Structure 1
Amino acid sequence: MDGPNALILAVIGVTMMLAGYFLYSRFLAKKVYKLNAEFKTPSHEFRDGVDFLPTNRYVLWGHHFTSVAGAAPIVGPAVAVIWGWLPAFLWVTIGTVFIAGMHDFGALWASARNKGRSMGALSGTYIGNRGRNLFLVVIFLLLLMVIAAFAVVISGLLVSQPTAVIPTWGALIVALLVGQAIYRLRWNLVAISSVGVVALYGLILVGDRYPVELPEQFMGLAPEGQWIVLLFVYAAIASLLPVWVLLQPRDFINGIQLFIGLGIIYGAVLLATPTVVAPAYNQHVPEGTPGIVPLLFVTIACGAISGFHGIVSSGTSAKQLDRETDARFVGYFGAVGEGLLALGAIIATTAGFQTIAQWEEVYESFGAGGVPAFVEGGASIINSGLGLPAGLSATILATMTVLFAATTLDTGVRLKRFVVQEIGQIAGVRIGTGPATAIVIVICAALTFSQGADGAGGLTIWPLFGTTNQLLAGLTLTILTVILIRKGRPFLPVLIPAVFVLAMTIYAALVQLFDLFADGEWLLFTLDVVIIVAALWVLVEAVIAMGQARRGEREPEDDVALTPEQRLPLDR
C-alpha cells in the first residue's frame, strides 16, 4: 500500500512548529520566563568585544541556529526512520514545539539572568558545588564526543563530495568580509545578507565544477586525516578570534544560506509531491535492530531535544544577547529551524526513493542511512521537483551538511575552552585563553588519531553521544525547574518534559550499558558507568534543591535597566 504524500507531512510539520513559535513561545515569554526588554544583559555589563558583545538578534539567531544544528538533526532522523516515518515525525514535531524550543529558550534566559554563566556554573549556584563538578564531567565528555566525531564526519564528506570543498572553505572568506561590513563599515544588514548569500551560492557553483581532492598520502596521513588536521587548526584559530570577526558573520550568512537550502528542499517537495515509500511503522526491521522504546528518543536528539543546545545557549549565545526579549526569537526559533531540518531529513530519507525495495536496500541494518541517505534522497527530490542536476543537488546538500557541522565544530572548541577554564577555576588554577584552547585541541586530536592516521578514533566514544546528550538535556531542564521554583514562576511546563526525557534516557543508558558489557566494550562500558553515575547524582542533588526551593524564600528579581546610550544601533 502506498504511503502518504510527503507534502502532507511537510505542511503538518511546518504548521505545528510555526504555531509553537507564535503561540507557545509567547506563553513561555510572558508567563514562565517573564522577559524584560529593559534588563541589562551580560553582553552590555561585561562587553569586551571578544566573547561578550551586544548583537543584532538576526545575526545572533544565525550564530545560534547553525551552532546547535550541526549534522545531528540530519543523522538522527535519517537513522531513526528505520522504525518507520511516523514515530520519527511525531517525536520531531512534538519534541520541537514542547521540549526543544522551551529548553533552548530557557537555557538562554537563565544564563542571561546570571551574568552569562554556563549551565555547568549555574548548577553550582542552584544545586551545589558537588552537583556542579559532576555536571561539568558530563559536559566535558559530551563536547569531546561532538568535536572529535564532527571532525571525522566533515572530513569524510569533503573526501566523498570533493565538490563541497571550495564552498566550505570559501565561506570563511565571505564571513570575514561580512563581519567587517557589519561592524566596521556599518553597512545595511539586508544588503550585506543578500551579497553574502549570492557569494556563497556562487561558490557552490564553482565547487560543483572544480572539485578539490587531497593527495592519497601526505606526511603519513590519508586524505581524511589531512582534512582533520586542517579542521582542528581552523577551529582553534576561530575559537580565539573575537566573535564579531568570524563566528557571528559566518554563522549568520550560513544560517540564511542554510534556510534557503531548506526552502529548496521544501519547495521541491511542493512541486514534486513525492510519495513516502517507507512504512509508517516498520514491523519488519532488520535483524539486530534495537527496540524503538527507548532508543528512538536518544537516536533523534537534535531536532527534538538536545543537551548540546543548552551548552551553546548558555556558553556563547547568552554572552551576545542584546535584549532579554531577543531570547525568544534566538532560542525558541533556533530550535524551530533545527526541527525543520530534522523534518526535511525524514522526508528526504523516506520519500527520496522510488520504491520500498530501494529504501530497504539502504536500510539493511540499524545505523544505516544517515547523511548519505539524506544526500541521495534529497537530491532525488530536488532533481524531480526543481529540475536541478542530480550532481549539483548533491553538492548543495553536502555543502549544507558540512557548513552545519563546521559551525558546530568551532563553537564546540570555544565552549570546551570555557569548560577547561571553569575546571581550572575550581582547581584554583587560572588557565589563559590560549593554553585552554591548546589543551582542548590536544585532547580531541589524541582521541581522533588514537585508532590510526585516518582519524577514525574520533568515533570511538560516539556510541555514547545519544544517551549523554539527552541526559544533559534532562539535567538542564531540572536546573531550570529549580530556578523557576526559586523565582516563584510556573514550572510544570519545564518539569513534565524533564521527567519524560530523563526517564527515557536513563532507560536507554541502562540498556546500552548491558549491551556494552555483553560485547566486552570495556572503555565504553566504563565511560557509560561514569556518565550514568554522574547524571543520577546531579539529578538527586537537583531534586533535593527543588524541595528546598519550594520551602525557602523567593529569589528577588534583578532588573537593572539599560541606559539609552547602551541600545544597540544596528537595524532591528
Structure 2
Amino acid sequence: MSGIMIILFGLAGLSFGWFVYSRFIAQKIYRLDPDFKTPAHEFNDGVDYVPTNKYVLWGHHFTSVAGAAPIVGPAIAVYWGWVPALLWVTFGTIFFAGVHDMGALWASTRNKGKSIGALSENVIGKRTRSLFLIVIFLLLLMVNAVFAVVIAGGFVGTPGSVFPAWSAIVVALIIGQLLRRNYSLVLLTIAGVVALYLSIWAGTFIELTLPETMFGLTANANWIIILFVYAAIASMLPVWMLLQPRDFINGMQLIVGLILLYGAVFLTMPEMTAPMFNTQTAANTPSIFPLLFVTIACGAISGFHGIVASGTSSKQLDKETDARFVGYLGAIGEGSLALITIVAVCSVAYAASPEQWHTLYANFSDGGAPAFIAGGATLISSSWGLSENFAQVLLATMVALFAGTTMDSGVRLQRYIIQEWGDIYKINLFNKGVPATLIAVAACLLLAFGAGGSSGAGGMIIWPLFGATNQILASLTLLVITVMLMKMDRPAIYTLVPMIFVLITSFLAGLIQLVDFYQAGNYLLVTLDFIVLVVSVLVMLEAASVVSKLRKDKAAAADVR
C-alpha cells in the first residue's frame, strides 16, 4: 500500500476533528466565552501571567507538549503493525487528546490559572490535590531527567545539531525583545525561521563537540549538566523573553519540517514495507493490549499535556476562546507529527523491502528517534533534492529543539509544583522562585547521577514507568474535567468515555509492569509503580464520592420541585 493512502486517511480524520468535533466541544460542552477575563489579564505580572497572541501561545504550547514523544512512541509501536498505530493516533487525537488538552486549558482558566493538581482541590477535594501533585512531580522528574539524556545523546551522536540548537536560543531572545516593542509578528516569524534554517545549514559544516572526558565525566554527562544549568536559568526568565519566542520559532520550524515531509510523501509516493499487522514478533514482545495505548502517548493523548496546559499555557491565554486554537490544534499538530512518523519508519524510505524492515525491527523498541531521522531524511533528500546530511541534521535538530523546549517548560512546572507545596505546608523557602528552581533541578540531577552514576542517565532507570504513569495522569485530568462539567450541569459523556478507556488501559499496563518489575527484581520500580497505582485508585474513590453526592443533591432538589 502507498504511504499516501495512510496520510490521506489520517489528514481526513484530523480535519474532521478540527473543523467539526472541536467546534462542537468548544461551543456546546466547554462553552468558551470570549468575554471571560482570563488569569493572564487578571494577574498580569509580566513574568508568568502574560496575555499572549494565540499564534505565539500555540507555538509555545505545541512545542512544550511535543518533545520527542510523538516521534519515539509511534516509531516503536509500529512493531505491532502500522494499522493499530495509525488508528490510535488518528482517533486518539480526535476524541481523546484534543478534548483533554482543550479541557485542561479551559478548566485551569476558569480556576485562576491553577495547575490541574491544584484545581483538583476545588473540584474534588483537598486530599486529591496532594495525591495529584505526587504523580505530577514524579512524571516531571522522569521527563526532565530523560529528555536531558535524549538531547545530550543527540549532541554527541549528531554534532552538527549542536550549533543550530543553541543558535535557536539567541534568535528567540532577539525576537522576544522585538515582539515586546510591537514589531510585526509576520516579519519576525519569517526572519526567525530563515535564521534557524541558516543555522541548520551551517551545522552541516560546524560540528561542535565536547572533549571525550572533562572534569572526570563523559561528554554525554557534561552535556546533561549544561542543559540543566540552562533550563534553570530559562525557567526563571519572564515567559515573553525566551520561552514564548523560542517555542514559537520552534513551532514554525516544525511546520516547515512537516511541509517538507508531507510534500515528500506526495512527491515520491513511498510504498509501505512494514506489515499492516506484524505476525513475526519476537518471543519477548509485550501484548499489544493494553501496551499500545501507553507506548503511543503524545500523538494520541498524554497526561503531560494537561500539566503544560494548566501550568503555563493557561497563564498566557488572552481570550478563553483561544483555548480551542491552542489546545485542540496543538493536539492535532502532535497527531500530524505522529502520522508522518509512521510513514517515515514503515515505508521504503527506511527499509527497502519487508525482509529488511523485519531485520531493522527484529525486537520491540528497535525503532525510536533514530529510525525517524533515517527514514525522514531519506524522504526529504530523495524528493526535494537536499543532501541527506542536511536532512539528517534538520531532523536531529528538530528532535533536540522539541526535547529542549519540553525541558524548559518541565523545569518551570516543577518549580510551580514546589511552590504549591510551599503554600500547602507553609514552607516559606519553597514559595520563592530561585530556591524552588534550584530544588527542582537538584532533584533531576540527583536522579540522573544518583541512580545513573557518572553517566547521568539515571532517568532511564525509571523511564519504563513513564507510559503508564503518563496515561494514568491523563485519565485523572479527564476525571477532574468530567466532575467539573457535572457540577456545572453540562454533558460530561464526551470526557467520561475517554477517561474510562484511558484509565482501564493505563491501569492494566501499570499492573502488567508491576509484575514484570517484581520478577526482574527491580524493587525501585515496583515501589514507584505501586505508589502511582494506589494514588490513582484513591483519587478515583474521592471523585466517586463527590459524584455520588452530586447525584443525591440533584435527586433531592428534584423531589423538592
Question: Normalising to structure 2: TM-score of the pair?
Answer: 0.97
Determine if the alignment matches structure 1 residue 376 to structure 2 residue 371. Answer: no
The answer for the alignment partner of 1:493 in structure 2 is: 494
Which of 200, 203, 208 in structure 1 is aligned with 2:199?
203
The answer for the alignment partner of 1:323 in structure 2 is: 319
The answer for the alignment partner of 1:100 in structure 2 is: 97
Q: 423-432 vs 390-399, which deviates more?
A: 423-432
Q: 353-362 vs 89-98, which deviates more?
A: 353-362
The answer for the alignment partner of 2:344 in structure 1 is: 348
Contact 1:89 1:346 in 2 (8 A): yes
AA at the equivalent of 2:200: I
Distance 2:172 2:378 in 1: 30
**Helix, strand or coil at the partner of 2:213:** coil
**Helix, strand or coil at the partner of 1:289:** coil
Distance 2:269 2:524 in 1: 47
AA at the equivalent of 2:436: A
State how 1:125-136 maps to structure 2 within 5 Å: 125-136=122-133
The answer for the alignment partner of 1:6 in structure 2 is: 3
**Helix, strand or coil at the partner of 1:383:** helix
Which of 37, 57, 65 in structure 2 is aligned with 1:40?
37
The answer for the alignment partner of 2:20 in structure 1 is: 23
Distance 2:313 2:549 in 1: 30
The answer for the alignment partner of 2:449 in structure 1 is: 449
The answer for the alignment partner of 1:413 in structure 2 is: 411
Distance 2:187 2:414 in 1: 34
Give the gaps of 5 or more residues in structure 1: 555-572
The answer for the alignment partner of 1:288 in structure 2 is: 284
Distance 1:38 1:342 in 2: 35
Determine if the alignment matches structure 1 residue 258 to structure 2 residue 259. Answer: no
Distance 1:551 1:266 in 2: 53
The answer for the alignment partner of 1:428 in structure 2 is: 426
Determine if the alignment matches structure 1 residue 82 to structure 2 residue 83. Answer: no
Distance 2:221 2:117 in 1: 33
Report runs of 4+ in structure 1 exceeding 4 Å deviation. Answer: none
Distance 2:26 2:457 in 1: 44
Q: 351-360 vs 190-199, which deviates more?
A: 351-360
Distance 1:281 1:458 in 2: 32
AA at the equivalent of 1:204: I
| RMSD between superposed Cα atoms in Å | 1.0
Contact 1:485 1:550 in 2 (8 A): no
AA at the equivalent of 1:469: N
Distance 2:95 2:61 in 1: 19
The answer for the alignment partner of 2:558 in structure 1 is: none
The answer for the alignment partner of 1:50 in structure 2 is: 47
**Helix, strand or coil at the partner of 1:192:** helix
Using the TM superposition, give the Cα deviation of residue 553 of structure 1 relative to its aligned residue in structure 2, in angstroms.
6.6
Q: 259-268 vs 83-92, which deviates more?
A: 259-268
The answer for the alignment partner of 1:440 in structure 2 is: 440
Using the TM superposition, give the Cα deviation of residue 24 of structure 1 relative to its aligned residue in structure 2, in angstroms.
0.4
Deviations 1:290-341 (A, max 9, x none): 1100000000000000000000000000000000000000000000000111
Contact 1:486 1:550 in 2 (8 A): no
Determine if the alignment matches structure 1 residue 476 to structure 2 residue 477. Answer: yes
Which of 236, 239, 242 in structure 1 is aligned with 2:238?
242
Deviations 1:505-552 (A, max 9, x none): 111111111111111111001100011000111111112222223344
Give the gaps of 5 or more residues in structure 2: 556-561
Which of 165, 169, 185 in structure 1 is aligned with 2:166?
169
Over the matched positions of the two proteins, sequence identity in percent amounts to 55
Deviations 1:196-228 (A, max 9, x none): 000000000000111111111110111101111
Question: Normalising to structure 1: TM-score of the pair?
Answer: 0.95
The answer for the alignment partner of 1:367 in structure 2 is: 365
Distance 2:553 2:357 in 1: 57
Using the TM superposition, give the Cα deviation of residue 51 of structure 1 relative to its aligned residue in structure 2, in angstroms.
0.2
Contact 1:486 1:553 in 2 (8 A): no
**Helix, strand or coil at the partner of 1:449:** helix
The answer for the alignment partner of 2:143 in structure 1 is: 146
Q: 283-292 vs 36-45, which deviates more?
A: 283-292
Aligned length: 550
